[in-house]
Amino acid sequence: MSEIEEAPLSLAQAPSRRLNMIEAINEALGVMMERDSGVVVFGEDVGYFGGVFRATAGLQKKFGKNRVFDTPINECGIIGAAVGMGAYGLRPVPEIQFADYIYPGLDQLVSEAARLRYRSAGEFTAPITVRSPFGGGIFGGQTHSQSPEALFTHVAGLKTVIPSTPHDAKGLLIAAIEDNDPVIFFEPKRIYNGPFTGYYDKPVEPWARHQGSEVPEGYYSIPLGKAKVVREGEAMTVLAYGTMIHVAAAVCAEKGIDAEIIDLRTLVPLDIETIEKSVQKTGRCLIVHEATRTCGFGAELSALVQERCFYHLEAPIERVTGFDTPYPHSLEWAYFPGPVRIGEAVDRLLKA
| Secondary-structure breakdown of the chain: helix, strand, coil percentages, each rounded to the nearest 5 | 40, 20, 45
Given a contact cutoff of 8 angstroms between Cβ atoms, the answer to whether 174 and 219 are in contact is yes
Q: How far apart are CA 134 and CA 139, in angstroms?
A: 12
What pairing do the DSSP bridges indicate for beta strands 183-188 and 129-134?
A: parallel
Q: Nearest 10 degrees: CA dihedral of 346, 348, 349, 352?
A: 160
Dihedral sign from CA coordinates of 45, 46, 47, 48: positive
What pairing do the DSSP bridges indicate for beta strands 183-188 and 236-240?
A: unpaired
Q: HSE of 171 in the Cβ direction (CA atoms, 13 Å)?
A: 22
Given a contact cutoff of 8 angstroms between Cβ atoms, the answer to whether 261 and 240 are in contact is yes
Q: HSE of 75 in the Cβ direction (CA atoms, 13 Å)?
A: 17
Q: Which of 144, 167, 246, 289 is the catalytic position? A: 144
Cα distance from N-terminal residue to C-terminal residue, the chain: 57
Query: Which contiguous run of DSSP H or E holds residue 280?
Result: helix 272-282
154 catalytic residue (yes or no): no
Given a contact cutoff of 8 angstroms between Cβ atoms, the answer to whether 26 and 169 are in contact is no
Residues labelled as active-site residues: 144
